[in-house]
Structure 1
Amino acid sequence: MQEKLAPFLVLLAAILWGTTGTAQALAPEAAHPVVIGAVRLALGGIPLFMIVLLLGKLNLRHWPIKETFLAALCMACYQPLFFSAVTMTGVAIGTVIAIGSAPILSGMIEWFFLKKSPGRVWWYSTVLSVIGCLMIFVNKESMNVDPYGIVMALGAGLSFASYTFVSGKLVGRHSPIVIVAVVFSISAIILSPLLFLYDISWITEGNGFAVSLHLGIVATGFAYFLFAIGLIHLPSSTAVTLSLGEPLTAALLGVFLIGEHLALTSWIGIGLLLIGIGMLILKSEESKKGARPPVR
């Protein structure tokens, strides 16, 4: 059953990630993006870790320490790299490069380490989705091509692609909820020094507390738990391409909740993104029925 639902679980995770932009827009003005990233990791991982401990599900025997720390480091790096890139280059360029580069980098990582080249459907889907992502954001603000910001955005894309690849190996050996709990708790510890460098008093405000809970528990802990379950049955390259549902969700929420206006180009981009994601889901379904070999 989980195998059939795997693409939809990853897509649902991406939809939950897509709510982070709207949630941040509702946060107090004093909320620094880098601190938001650290807080969401803490609230996403530590409560899950406590639940895992209470349920007695944490078994450290033969625990893959190297892979776990690498996954935690990748996720810890993603937060400041992405938010710094957005600050330096703007939301449009930062988001497109970070999120759009991740599927390509993921395919390269699979090819380099597993010697598996993604199939044609993956390439078609990824190209359509990345172009769609670019078209969604291209008219939203003036472009600011900062070389350092672009490097940081590429670093964020590589961090997410690497996290997905390593997590795909981890969930094959351990429970997804345990993996997410341990990895995100370690990530939160790595980023904890940031909480002493910025003002965090906004968390005690009503909307600040609500936004923090949503970002941590829903858009991080629960979302990455779903993502981890999907990774059990999907190649990391496919999962990363499906995660492009994040900018799609962010754009639609911006229209319907924040009152943003999208140009015709952006709506065409949404259509291309939907087609690209739909192609991957259909291909996954056909592969499970044995009609064609799995997407690899």
Structure 2
Amino acid sequence: MKKLLPFMMIAAGASLWGLIAFFVKGLTSLGFSAMEIVTLRVVFASIILVIIGIAASRPQMKISLRDIHLFAGTGILSIVFFNWCYFTAINQLTISIAVILLYTSPAFVALLSFFFLKEKIDSRKKTAIIGTIVGSVLIAGMSGQDTGSLSPIGTIIGLGAGLGYALYSIFGKFALQKYSAYTVTLYTFVVAALFLLPVTRIWERGEALFDVEVVLLAAGLGLLPTVLAYYLYTWGLERTESSTAAVIATIEPVVAVLLGLFLYGESLGIFQILGSALIILSVCAVNLRADGSKNVFTKKSLH
């Protein structure tokens, strides 16, 4: 049982990520925009992480102001952009398609790493990139009869979520050279919150913010598929190979698809099913390395 526990923790964390759409759909129905929902997520997550830091990780809360640009990269250019694209895609497309488009991030990571980190694109990465591109084309709909819920703009925004998530891998790699995973996560959310609060002026929503349903959904979004999911995934990751963890984490789109099917009555056409399978297989193939070594496609600590 102890040997299986890390795998179970990783699966639990990834499953919680798959539930993000539940909170996004709920807050959207209450009149909040995608950017306002991003603000609620990062603010509540920041509060929870600060409380955790004060209680148990005070030394890790210290950073040099000279490094604030690192967290501007992870917080603003990555998490704000990624979350806005992802939440918008969830509302414009189906949950299933939105989460699968998010999984194009490994292809973006490979391309960005090639240009900015001078990492080579080997055969596995090429396979993942080609598989991701073909899968995205299939998802976008090779046949107009496949689904009426897709739009070119929505698909582009969904791909933007994959790009934004990939950007964290680039900026996060530099930040993690100097700071712990907790420190990077904490200041990523804090910087994102400080940036979004004056942009969205969320406080002007007044009484809506104190509605019990809004508070529960916002707190749930900040805790369950954010802080708790990160903790569970990281706990398991520390006790198993990163490549194995990345493959187990592909349970996330499965959970999201089931959520869309059973809770929101969504459906997938044949091309969307084929495209989704191709993207997931591309992620798995590039992470199943014979030597079990870490690689650039492993899911990072933020989602």
- Please give the range of the TM-score, normalised by the shorter of the 2 chains: 0.7 to 0.9
Counterparts of 1:167 and 1:227 in 2: how far apart (Å)? 17
Residues 1:25 and 1:86: Cα distance change in structure 2 (over 3 Å) = closer
- Residue equivalent to 2:21: 21
What is the deviation of 1:35? Answer: 1.1
Q: 1:192 deviation in Å? A: 0.7
Cα distance in 1 for partners of 2:291, 2:179 equals 25
Q: State the identity %.
A: 21
The residue that corresponds to 2:299 in the other structure is: none
User: What is the alpha-carbon root mean square deviation over aligned residues?
Assistant: 4.2
The residue identity in structure 1 corresponding to 2:46 is: G
| Contact 2:42-2:222 at 8 Å conserved across structures | yes
Aligned equivalent of 2:69, options 66, 70, 77: 66
Distance verdict in 2 for CA 1:62–1:161, change over 3 Å: same
Whether the 8 Å contact between 2:42 and 2:189 is mirrored in structure 1 is yes
Match of 2:258 among 231, 245, 252: 252
Distance 2:7 2:174 in 1: 17
Question: Any conservation in 1 of the 2:138–2:271 contact (CA below 8 Å)?
Answer: yes
Q: Alpha-carbon deviation of 1:150?
A: 6.8
Aligned-pair CA distance for 1:111: 0.9
| 1:207 corresponds to 2:213 | yes
**C-alpha separation in 1, matches of 2:20 and 2:107:** 23
Residue equivalent to 1:117: 120
Separation in 1, partners of 2:195, 2:110: 28
Match of 1:51 in 2: 52
**Residue 182 (structure 2) pairs with residue 181 (structure 1):** no
CA distance in 2, matches of 1:262, 1:73: 33
Q: Give the structure 2 partner of residue 191 of structure 1.
A: 196
For structure 1, the residue ranges without an aligned partner over 5 or more in a row are none
Compare 254-263 and 35-44 and name the one that shifted more: 254-263
Q: How many Å apart are 1:202 and its aligned residue? A: 4.0
Relative to structure 1, the CA distance from residue 221 to residue 33 in structure 2 (aligned partners, 3 Å threshold; closer, same or farther) is: same
1:49 counterpart SS class: helix
Of 270, 282, 285 in structure 2, the residue corresponding to residue 276 of structure 1 is 282
- Shift of the alpha carbon at 1:64? 3.0
**Which residue is 2:301 aligned to?**
none
Per-residue Cα deviation, 1:220-277 (whole angstroms, up to 9, x for no partner): 223345667859x869xx9999977654432221113333333344444444344334
- With the length of structure 2 as denominator, give the TM-score of the two structures: 0.71
